[in-house]
A = this chain, B = another copy of it.
Amino acid sequence: MKTLTDYVWFETKQKRELVRITDAVAERVTKSGVQEGMALVSAMHITAGVFVNDDEPGLWADIWEWLQHLCPEGPDYRHHRTGEDNGDAHLKSLLIHHQILVPITKGKLDLGPWQAIFYAEFDGQRRKRMIIKVMGE
């Protein structure tokens, strides 16, 4: 069995930002030498997410709007009594989910033609980390 573990750091310019990471994941899979297996891609923070969807800017705007609607920003979260102001970012992370698992076949990410991988930052402008863990043989 082979494994590879790598950490990817982000420091987004915006508080909310979507970062394409398909190539970053593919690069680690190649480096791992794994031909058949899986790659776990998981945010290491609780105010960010990782998801698979279409690489289409109009859709991105739709996704942000939808997340703002279902997990609104506001001053009313109990979490803010700790001094934080990012309650909505925690809920967005739960809704989008913080991780995905990508199948690896014949040494490559086995994704459908329109599947792209994104890191979704919900409370950025500071250094945050994501793990890529590849496992297989």
Interfacial residues, chain A to chain B (CB-CB below 8 A) = 1, 3, 5, 36-38, 40, 42-46, 51-54, 56, 58-59, 61-63, 66, 70-71, 77-82, 87, 90-91, 93-101, 103, 105, 110-112, 114-115, 129, 131, 133, 135-137
Contacts and interface: CB of A to CB of B under 8 A. Distances in A.
Contacts of A131: 103, 110
17 contacts: A1-B137, A3-B37, A43-B112, A46-B53, A46-B114, A46-B115, A56-B82, A58-B77, A59-B77, A59-B87, A62-B87, A63-B90, A63-B94, A66-B91, A94-B95, A105-B133, A110-B131
A82 B66 CA distance: 19
Stoichiometry, as copies per complex, reads 3
A32 to B, nearest CB: 11
The 6 closest A-B pairs by CB, nearest first: A44-B112, A58-B78, A59-B79, A3-B36, A103-B133, A58-B79
Given A56-B79, A103-B131, 20 more contacts: A1-B137, A3-B37, A3-B136, A36-B135, A38-B133, A40-B101, A42-B103, A44-B111, A45-B112, A46-B112, A52-B98, A58-B77, A58-B79, A62-B87, A70-B70, A95-B95, A101-B101, A112-B129, A135-B135, A135-B136
